[in-house]
Amino acid sequence: MRIDLTGRTAVVTGSSQGIGLAIATGLARAGARTVLTARGAERLRQAAAHVTEAVPDADLVTVACDLGRPEGAGRLLEAVPDADVLVNNLGIFGPTPALDVTDAQWREFFEVNVVSAVWLIRAYLPGMTRCGWGRVQNICSDSAIVIPAAMIHYGVSKTALLAVSRGFAKEAAGTGVTVNAVIAGPTHTPGVEDFVRELVGDGMPWDEAQREFMRVHRPQSLLRRLIEPEEIAHLVVYLSSGYASATTGAAVRVDGGYVDSIVP
């Protein structure tokens, strides 16, 4: 299958590292004009260099902005007023005992993980519907369904994002625009690698360490290893294409079988 997104503009939030960077690279490889966002200009420069190394002819735009704040969204929209593909990947996470999560933390997680996506959907969806074509994807997590005891606030924010995805899919019904959620499972990112090392120790090779982590701390996984960011990106690129024209309002799982369910 050859996916060609030439002529399309794709915005990927939180794309300076990890899953977001892999998604941006995949979309650029498919020919999309790809917009990378992050708060730091230097991190964006490094991310753009990474994409260009993988895709030498990549058409890239970088926008340094804090999308957890309204003025950040305004900066992005000023630089890129229209988009054909929107991937809301921006998110924060971190363990905190349930009774210790403060009001400020609840608000911050909701603002960054949910409201930032809503702002951008509201901004870009009208242009997509006028054109009769568009793709919106919200990167969710298995934590939206399997709420982690140590990160209730994070899990709840991702559950809300599932509802946001379904609701805006209904708003876009019949327009040629699709809106979906992508449920990512435990994924190998720098932050997660540090987390794994904390739990299983630094003494063993990485492949062994991640498998021990999955065996002890994520035994529900059928993959029995962490998912690589590129594996998430493959699904996102497909959902961004014309091949996925009949997939909308869905919560599509790329979770390595982590969620114990026989329905998507």
Tell me which residues are annotated as active site: 154
Looking at residue 136, its amino acid is V
Q: How far apart are CA 22 and CA 193, in angstroms?
A: 16
Q: Please list, in sequence order, all residues whose beta carbon lies within 8 angstroms of the beta carbon of residue 182, skipping any fewer than 6 positions away.
A: 137, 138, 139, 140, 232, 235, 236, 239, 252, 254
* Residues 41/45/47/50 CA torsion (nearest 10 deg): -170
Measure CA of the first residue to CA of the last residue in the chain; give whole Å.
23
> What residues does 35 pair with on adjacent strands?
11, 61
DSSP of 98-152: GGG--HHHHHHHHIIIIIHHHHHHHHHHHHHHHHT-EEEEEEEEGGGTS--GGGH
Question: Measured in whole angstroms, how far is the alpha carbon of residue 192 from the centre of its chain?
Answer: 15
Buried b (16+ CB within 10 A) or exposed e, 70-93: eebbebbbeebeebbbbbbbbbeb
Q: How far apart are CA 219 and CA 146, in angstroms?
A: 13
Q: How far apart are CA 201 and CA 179, in angstroms?
A: 41
> How many Cα neighbours within 13 Å face the side chain of 40?
6
